[in-house]
Amino acid sequence: MMTHLLTLAHVVAALLITLALASAGRRAAVRLRQPDVIGEISVGLLAGPLLLAILGRQAFDAALPAEVLHVLTRIGQGALALYLVGLAHHLRSQAGRPNKAPVIWVAAGSLVPALLCGVLLAWGIDAFTNQAVRGTAPTPAFFLMTAVAMSISAVPVMARILTFRKMQDSLSGTLTMAAAVMIDSIGWLMLTLAICLNARSAGAFLDCLTALAVGAVLMLALRVALRSRAARLLAVGRTRLMAGFLALAACLMGYTMDSLGMTVILGAAMVGFAVPSGPGEQWNAAVATVSRTGRFVVPVFFVVTGVSVLSRSYGSASWPLLLATVALGIAGKVLGGYAGARLAGQPPAAAREVGVLMNTRGLTELIVLQAGVSAGILTGPMTLALVVMALTTTAMTGPLLSYLQRNTSLPEPARTPVVAV
* Residue 184 domain flag: yes
* Residue 416 domain flag: no
Q: What average pLDDT is seen over the chain?
A: 87
* Residue 417 domain flag: no
Residue 337's pLDDT band (boundaries 50, 70, 90)?
Answer: very high
pLDDT tens-digit series, residues 205-223: 888 889 889 999 999 999 9
pLDDT top residue among 114 and 66: 114
Cβ neighbours of 377 (radius 10 Å): 26
C-alpha to C-alpha distance for 361 and 336, rounded to whole angstroms:
15
The count of structural domains within the chain is 1
* Residue 43 domain flag: yes
CATH of the domain at 309: 1.20.1530.10
pLDDT at 410: 46
Domain with 336 in it: 2-406
* Residue 419 domain flag: no
pLDDT tens-digit series, residues 135-167: 999 999 999 999 999 999 888 788 878 877 888
* Residue 376 domain flag: yes
pLDDT at 46: 87
Of the listed ranges 56-60, 122-126, 286-290, the least confidently predicted one is 56-60
* Residue 317 domain flag: yes
**Given a cut of 50, is residue 415 above it in pLDDT?**
no
Residue 418's pLDDT band (boundaries 50, 70, 90)?
Answer: very low
* Residue 421 domain flag: no
CB within 8 Å of 361: residues ≥ 6 apart: 152, 153, 154, 157, 329, 389, 390, 391, 393, 394
pLDDT at 421: 37
Above pLDDT 90, what percent of the chain? 46
